[in-house]
């Protein structure tokens, strides 16, 4: 059995999202799907991360995502196929269909007509266009799992503080500082010094990874906001925000990628 998520990634998702209602919903039937897709190895944690990634794209693009849904399906399908060309196409289509199905489950909790009806209908049509054996029963099992009303609305509002911070500054309201997100305030000068020394204004990814390294090392809060980073270090918040959005919403970077940046903050 090939498995894209190894134990470290599985444990990380489990620890970080143990109280997340969507994660718990997926886990209710995730073992069944993993058993049915034994050759592919889709665990609940990977399913959750892939579903979050899809929901993030939908949240960020809104109406503009509608013409892209079929291409999103095909990209996921092709990525899975490249991972293991020995897995049958039927299993791959079922895997993508499961992710789309859980996205529909999440979107159906929204109070907004566009998400609850229009997007879900288009996602369902995409599944039908690429249907796999037993697709009706698979979707029935997914849609039978309870998920609290309003879950998706809460999900898309997670970064309201970041998005409205500029307006609050104009109104003279109190705005959080980067140092507010440093875990140990006594280490604020040391932590900001490490960041200033290692960020690169010409490389948004490096800048984001340096700060994510501080999060991984337990010295910076996971809730750190992009505007506070811009105000303190002079980097464009829009250039680094995609990296933090992916990281915060479960699109993990590998330990190998982050280790050099995490090590910057680890005391000897």
Residue 182 burial (CB < 10 Å; 0-12/13-18/19+)?
A: buried
* Residue-range definition of the domain harbouring residue 95: 7-156
The answer to whether position 1 is within a domain reads: no
Domain boundary among 112, 128, 156: 156
| 137 and 206 inside one domain | no
- Indicate the pTM of the whole model: 0.63
**pLDDT tens across the length of the chain (268 residues):** 345 677 777 888 888 888 899 999 999 999 999 888 877 778 899 899 889 889 988 887 888 899 999 999 998 888 888 876 677 888 899 999 999 999 999 999 999 999 999 999 999 999 999 999 999 999 999 999 999 999 998 887 754 444 445 444 443 444 567 888 888 888 999 999 999 999 987 888 899 999 999 998 999 987 787 788 888 888 887 788 778 877 766 556 778 888 999 999 987 6
| 143 and 164 inside one domain | no
The answer to whether position 2 is within a domain reads: no
Q: Which two tokens stand for residue 208?
A: 């984001």
Per residue in 82-121, pLDDT tens? 876 677 888 899 999 999 999 999 999 999 999 999 999 9
| 150 and 32 inside one domain | yes
Distance between CA atoms of 29 and 59, rounded to whole angstroms?
25
pLDDT for the residue 262: 92
From residue 153, alpha-carbon distances to 104, 109, 166, 175, 218 in Å are 13, 8, 22, 24, 29
| 54 and 15 inside one domain | yes
Residue 182 contacts residue 220 (beta carbons within 8 Å)? yes
Q: Pick from 84, 117, 116, 93: which is nearest to 36 by CA?
A: 93
| 39 and 15 inside one domain | yes
| 175 and 88 inside one domain | no
Per residue in 143-159, pLDDT tens? 999 999 999 988 877 54
Domain boundary among 119, 134, 156: 156
| 102 and 119 inside one domain | yes
Distance between CA atoms of 195 and 136, rounded to whole angstroms?
51
The answer to whether position 197 is within a domain reads: yes
| 217 and 110 inside one domain | no
pLDDT for the residue 160: 43
Q: Pick from 217, 196, 210: which is nearest to 240 by CA?
A: 210
Query: Residues 6 or more apart from 236 whose CB is under 8 A from it?
Result: 204, 230
| 196 and 102 inside one domain | no
Domain boundary among 137, 156, 175: 156
| 237 and 128 inside one domain | no
| 33 and 104 inside one domain | yes
């Amino acid at each position: 059995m090939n498995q894209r998520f190894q134990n470290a990634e599985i444990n990380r998702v489990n620890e970080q999202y143990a109280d997340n209602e969507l994660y718990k919903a997926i886990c209710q039937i995730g073992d069944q799907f993993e058993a049915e897709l034994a050759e592919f190895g889709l665990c609940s944690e990977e399913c959750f991360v892939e579903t979050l990634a899809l929901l993030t794209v939908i949240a960020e693009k809104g109406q503009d995502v509608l013409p892209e849904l079929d291409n999103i399906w095909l990209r996921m399908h092709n990525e899975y196929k490249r991972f293991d060309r020995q897995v049958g196409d039927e299993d791959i289509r079922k895997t993508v269909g499961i992710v789309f199905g859980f996205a529909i489950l999440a979107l159906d909790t929204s109070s907004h007509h566009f998400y609850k009806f229009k997007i879900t209908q288009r996602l369902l049509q995409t599944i039908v266009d690429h249907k796999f054996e037993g697709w009706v029963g698979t979707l029935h099992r997914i849609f039978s799992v309870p998920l609290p009303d309003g879950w998706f609305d809460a999900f898309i509002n997670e970064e309201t503080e970041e998005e409205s911070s500029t307006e609050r500054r104009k109104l003279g309201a109190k705005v959080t500082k980067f140092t507010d997100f440093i875990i140990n305030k006594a280490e604020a000068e040391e932590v900001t010094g490490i960041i200033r020394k290692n960020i690169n204004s010409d490389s948004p990814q490096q800048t984001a990874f340096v700060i994510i390294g501080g999060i991984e090392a337990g010295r910076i809060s996971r809730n750190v906001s992009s505007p506070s980073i811009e105000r303190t270090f002079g980097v464009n918040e829009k250039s680094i925000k995609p990296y933090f959005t992916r990281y915060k919403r479960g699109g993990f970077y590998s330990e190998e990628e982050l280790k050099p940046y995490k090590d910057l903050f680890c005391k000897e």
